[in-house]
Structure 1
Amino acid sequence: MENLLTILEFIKTWYWIPLTLVNTTAFITILIENGKPEKTIAWLMVIVFLPIIGVVLYYFFGQKFKKENYFKKLDHRYKTLLDTRWNDLAPFISKEIELTQTYDDHLNDAFEYLANTKVSIPTSNNIVELLSNGEEKFAVLLNDLKNAKHHIHLEYYIFDEDEIGSQILNILVEKAKNGVEIRLIIDDFGSGALAKRKKYYESLGIQFEIFLPVRFSSLANSNYRNHRKIIIIDGLIGYVGGINISDKYINPNKYNVFWRDTSIRIFGDATKVLQAQFWLHWQSIALKTYSLNAHYLPKLSNNFLKKLPVTFALSSPGDTPPYIMEAMILSISTAQKSIQLCTPYFIPTESFKTALLIAISKGVEVSLMIPAKSDSAVVQAASLSFLKPFVERGMNVFLYKKGFIHAKTICIDGLLSYVGTTNLDSRSFLINFELSALVLDPLFAKQLSEQFYKDTLESNLFTTEFWNSKKWYYKAFASICRLLAPLL
C-alpha cells in the first residue's frame, strides 16, 4: 500500500514531463506534415484544450498514415489503367464536348475540365429520371432489380438489413440462384452490421466485399470512408444520389422524421462510366476480380434516347487536386443567373466560400438550403456560424423544418445540375470517396428547381436578426465548432 502511494505521489508530481513530451512530439509531427494551415491549427487546438484525449484522437484519426499514400498509388494505378482506353476514346470525347457546347458555352466548362483531367468521360446518349425521397427511389429500384438479366453491382455507404434492405437482399439472393452475377461493396463504418454477415451472404452466391474494414489496429483508416451510393444493372441502368439503403429514407418511417433526399436513375451511356468506377474499386479490394468486357459495357441503340449530356465528378483521399470541389467552383464561377444549393452539412472550404461570395457580388441569385435541425449538433452549429457573411452579401438561406434534408444538389442557371453524394464540406471535398452526376439539361434542371421551391415552402429564412438573437453561449459554441470545421 505504501509503495502504491509513493507511485501515485510521483505521478502527481511529475506527470507533466511525459505529457509535455507527448504533446511536443504531436505538435512537431503535425507541423512537419505541412498540411493545410486551417487543418493544422484545428488539430493543435484539439491537443491544447484536450491534453491527453486530443493526442489520442490525433494519432488515431488525424495523422497521415500509410493508407493515404496507398490511395495516391491506387489513383495512379487507376489513371494508368484508363490512359490507354482514354486515348482510344479521344475522338468520342471531343464529339461529346462539342455537343455540350450547343447547350451552353459556359456551363459546359465543368464537362471539359473533367474530361481534360481524365476524371470522367462525357456522354450524351441518356435518359435521366429525378427521384425525390426513398419512397420514389425504392419503388422503381425494386422493379429494376427483379428484371436484371446478367449482373447487379452495388456500392453503398449505408446498407441496413432492415425491411427495405432485406427486400433488396432477398432479390439479390434469388437473382444469384438464377445465375445473375451479384457484386456488393459496402463501407465498414457505415454498414458495420451487414459487414458481419459477409460469409452468410457469400454462401448464398453474392460476391461481397467490405471497403476498408475498421479494426482497432487500423482505427486511423476509419477517417477515410467510401460515401458513394451506386447501383449498376446490366450495364444499362444506373442509380446515384444521396439515398442510402435504409428504412429511415422512406416516408413515413418508424423514426418519425420526414427524410428529404434526392437520387437519379440513369438509362444510357453514362452508366458505363459508373460501371468503370465500380470495376476500379472492385479491382482494388477483391481477391476475385473480373474482366470489364462487353457484357458489362453493352452497346445501346440511340434511336429512342435524347441527347442529354451526363458526366461525373469523382473524388478520393488520394486526389490532387480535389476534382469535385474544383468542378463545382468552376460551375459556380460561370453562373450568370441563379445558383440553388442543397446540403445537409455546409462547412465550405475557403475557396468554395470565395466562389459563392463572388457569384453573389456579380449579381447571381444564390440560394442555399440546409436543415433547421441537423443530426449532429456540432456540425449544425459550425454550419450556422458560416452563414451571416453570406446573408449580408445577399444570399438567401433556407432552414428546412419539415424534417431532415439530406439531398446533395446544385442547380445553376436552370440548366446544369449536380446530384450525388457530395456534401458541401471539407470531408466530402478532401477525405471521402464521393461521386456526383452532372446533368446538362433544362427540363431536368427545371424539375430540380421546382423541388427546391417546394422545399422553401417548408422552410424558414435565416436572417442576421435570427443569428443575433441566439444566446451568447450558443454563438461561442458555434465559433469553437467552426474552428474545428476542417476536422468534421
Structure 2
Amino acid sequence: MDKIYHILTLVSIGIYWLLVALVTFRIVLKKRAVSVSLAWLMVIYILPILGVFCYFLFGELNLGRKRAERAKAMSPSFSDWFTQLNSCQAHITENMGAHIYKIDELCNHRMGIPALSGNSLSLQTDPKVILNTIITDIEQARYSIRMVFYIWHIGGLADAVASSLIQAAKRGVDVKVLLDSAGSHRFIKSHWYTIMTNAGVQIVQALEVRPWRIFLHRLDLRQHRKIIVIDDTVAYTGSMNMVDPAYFKRDSGVGQWVDIMIRLTGPTVNVLSAIHCWDWEFETGRREFPQIPQCTVNNGLPQHPIQVVPSGPGMPEYLISQALILAIHQANQSIRITTPYFVPSSELLSALKTAAHRGIQIELIIPHKNDSTMVKWASRSYYGELLDIGISIYEFYGGLLHTKSVVIDQQFCLVGTVNMDMRSLWLNFEVTLAVDDIEFTRELYQLQNEYIEQSYPVTYEQWKERPHYNRVLERIYYLFNPLL
C-alpha cells in the first residue's frame, strides 16, 4: 500500500509540474507586455495550485465562443455605419485643433469613427442635479431610451429614475437597459428589476456571471461604460454610475463618491447611441442602428468637435490607451489628471515621465481613501519615482474622487469612464470623449481646482519618511500591478 501511495504521489507531482510547464510555455508564447507575463509567472510559482487555477480564470481574454463569433461578425457592419459619418458636414477637419486632429486620425484609421462638430456640452457635477436632469429628459422621451451602466444601486433618486423609465415604457417608449452582471447584481436581485421588466423595460445582464461557466469566459471582464441616449437627440456619459451617492456604499469608510456627467446634444449623440447598439448586439445578438445624425452645422456657432473613443473586446485593442498617450505626447505646457485608480501601464508611465522630462507641468489628483486596498497600495508604489521627476501628487480628502478626466494645456480634455489602470485600458468595455472645446475644458479645469482645494499635496521629503511597513506593502502590490 505504501508503494502505491508513493507511486500516486510521484504521478501527482509529475502531472502538476507538467501542467505548470505547459502553462509557462503558454504564457511565454502569448504576445503581451513582459510585465504581465512576469506577474503571471510569479503568481503560478508562488501559489502553486491556486496560481494555475487563477490563470485559467483570469489570465487570458476569453469572451466565450458565441460572443467572440458575434463580435467578429458585427465589426464590418458597425465600421460601415461609422465610416458614413466621414462624409457628413459635421466632420470638419480643417477647423480641428491640433490635439483632436491626431486623435481623429487614430480613431478613423482603426475603427472608422470620426470626430464630429456641432455639439453642445454641459458639465454636471452635483449628483442631485444630474439625476433630476436625467429624469426630466426621460419624461420628455418620445420613442427610445438606451442605457448602459456598470452599477445600478437602489435607493434615493436612482429609484426615481427607475420610476420614470417605467412610466416611459408604459407610454410606448422603447426602453433598453444594459447592466453589468457583477456590478449590478444587487439591483438585478431586487424588486425594482421585477417591477421594471413587468412594465416593459428591457433589462439585459451584460457578461452574466455563472459559476458553472467559469472556464467558458473570463469572469473579470466587465461592462464599465456609462451611457444614456434619449431619442437619439440627448446623451449622457461620464464617471457616475446609476446611483444616488447618499445611498451608495455608505459603510465603506471612504465617504461619498464624487463624480461628473456630461450632457450632450448634437451629432456625437448618435455615435454614443451606436456604441450602445454594439453592446446590445454583443449580448443579445439583436442588431439595430441609430439613425445617421443630422450633420448640418451652423458655421456661425462654436463647433465643439468631439471624438468618441470606445474600447473593449471585439473592438480595436488599446484604442483609449493609444488616444491618451497621444494626447500626453502633444502637451506643450500642462497635464492634469483625476482618477480614482492609478495603476498605469508601462507605456502610460513612460509617456508621463517623458512629458515631465520635457518640462511639462503634470498634476495627479487621486483619492486619499480608496475602496480597493490592493489598488491603494499599488498606486502608492509609483509615488516616489513620480515625485522625484517633478510630478505633483494631490490626495483628495472630500470622499472617493471617482471623476476620470485629463486636461491638456487648459485647451483640450479627455473625460469618460476609463480609469488609469490596466484593467480599464486593456480589458473592460469603456468609452472616453476627447473634447476640443476651450470653454468646456476650462470649466473642467476649474472643477479640478476645486478638487485640489480639498486635497493635500504629497511632498517628496514627506514621502521618504513614510513607515517601513508601507514600503513593504507597496513593493508587494507593485509586483501584481499588471494584474489589477
TM-score higher than 0.5: yes
Cα displacement (A) at 1:291: 5.1
1:45 aligns with 2:45: no
Note the C-alpha offset of 1:75: 5.0
Match of 2:221 among 224, 241, 250: 224
Tell me the distance in 2 between the aligned counterparts of 1:292 and 1:451.
33
Map of 1:358 onto structure 2: 354
| SS of alignment partner, residue 208 of structure 2 | coil
For the residue of structure 1 that corresponds to 2:426, the secondary structure is helix
Letter in 2 for 1:49: I
Alpha-carbon separation, structure 2, partners of 1:471 and 1:11: 48
After superposition, where does 1:122-271 map in structure 2 within 5 Å?
122-196=115-189, 201-219=196-214, 220-248=217-245, 257-271=255-269
Over 3 Å counting, the alpha-carbon distance change for 1:93 and 1:351 in structure 2 is: farther
For residues 152-200 of structure 1, what are the alpha-carbon distances to aligned partners after superposition, in whole Å with 9 as ceiling and x for unaligned? 1100110123233321111111111101110111110111123346565
Residues 344-353 or 473-482, more deviating = 473-482
C-alpha distance in 2 between matches for 1:182 and 1:386: 44
Q: Which runs of 5 or more structure 2 residues have no equivalent in the other structure?
A: none
Letter matched to residue 454 of structure 2: E
- 1:298-344 per-residue CA deviation (whole Å, 9 max, x = no partner) reads 67785996411111111113444411011111111111111110111
Which of the numbers 472, 476, 486 marks the counterpart of 2:472?
A: 476
Partner of 1:345: 341
Indicate conservation of the 8 Å contact 1:340/1:367, yes or no: yes
CA contact (8 A) 1:133 1:243 kept: no
**Offset at 1:217?**
2.6
TM-score after normalising by structure 1: 0.90
TM-score (norm 2): 0.90
1:123 Cα deviation (Å)?
A: 1.3
Aligned partner of 1:161: which letter?
A: I
Match of 1:23 in 2: 20
**Matched ranges for 1:241-390 at <5 A:** 241-248=238-245, 257-286=255-284, 288-290=286-288, 292-293=290-291, 297=293, 302=298, 306-390=302-386
Shift of 1:263: 1.7
Q: Which runs of 5+ in 1 are unaligned?
A: none
SS at match of 1:308: coil
* Residue-by-residue CA offset, 1:43-96 (whole Å, 9 max, x unaligned): 1111122122222211122134353x7666555444411343455443337942
User: Which amino acid is 2:331 matched to?
Assistant: A
Deviations 1:396-423 (A, max 9, x none): 1111112111110000111111110011
* Number of residue pairs matched by the alignment: 479
1:207-248 deviations in whole A, cap 9, x for unaligned?
A: 221111111132342221110000001111111111001223
Q: Which residue of 2 aligns with 1:485?
A: 481
Q: 1:250, 1:298 → 2: CA distance?
A: 40
Cα pair 1:133 1:259 within 8 Å, conserved: no
Q: Secondary structure at the match of 1:232?
A: strand
Measured at CA, do residues 74 and 486 of structure 1 come closer, stay the same or move farther in structure 2, by a change above 3 Å? farther
- In structure 2, do the counterparts of structure 1 residues 299 and 445 end up closer, same or farther at CA, with 3 Å as the change threshold? closer
Q: Provide the rounded CA distance (Å) in 2 between the counterparts of 1:108 and 1:278.
A: 25
* Contact 1:357-1:393 within 8 A present in 2 as well: yes
User: Does 2:385 align with 1:392?
Assistant: no
Q: CA separation in 2, counterparts of 1:459 and 1:94?
A: 40
Q: 2:131 touches 2:161 (CA, 8 Å); kept in 1? A: no
State the alpha-carbon separation in 1 of the partners of residues 428 and 79 from structure 2. 24
What are the Cα deviations for residues 263-318 of structure 1, in whole angstroms up to 9, with x where unaligned?
A: 21111111011011111221222255445347xx5677859964111111111134
- Partner deviation per Cα, 1:384-407 (whole Å, 9 max, x = no partner): 111211111111111111211111
Pick closer, same or farther for the CA change 1:440–1:388 going to 2, 3 Å. same
* Structure-1 residue corresponding to 2:445: 449
Cα 1:420/1:119, change in 2 over 3 Å: farther
Q: Which amino acid aligns with 1:333?
A: H
Aligned partner of residue 340 in structure 2, secondary structure? coil
1:114 aligns with: 107
CA distance in 1, matches of 2:219, 2:126: 28
TM alignment of 1:39-118, pairs within 5 A: 39-65=36-62, 67=64, 74-92=70-88, 95-100=91-96, 104-118=97-111
Percentage of matched positions with identical amino acids: 27
CA distance in 2, matches of 1:380, 1:326: 25
Q: Is the Cα contact below 8 Å between 2:387 and 2:393 reproduced in 1?
A: yes
Counterpart CA distance in 2 for 1:348 and 1:249 is: 30
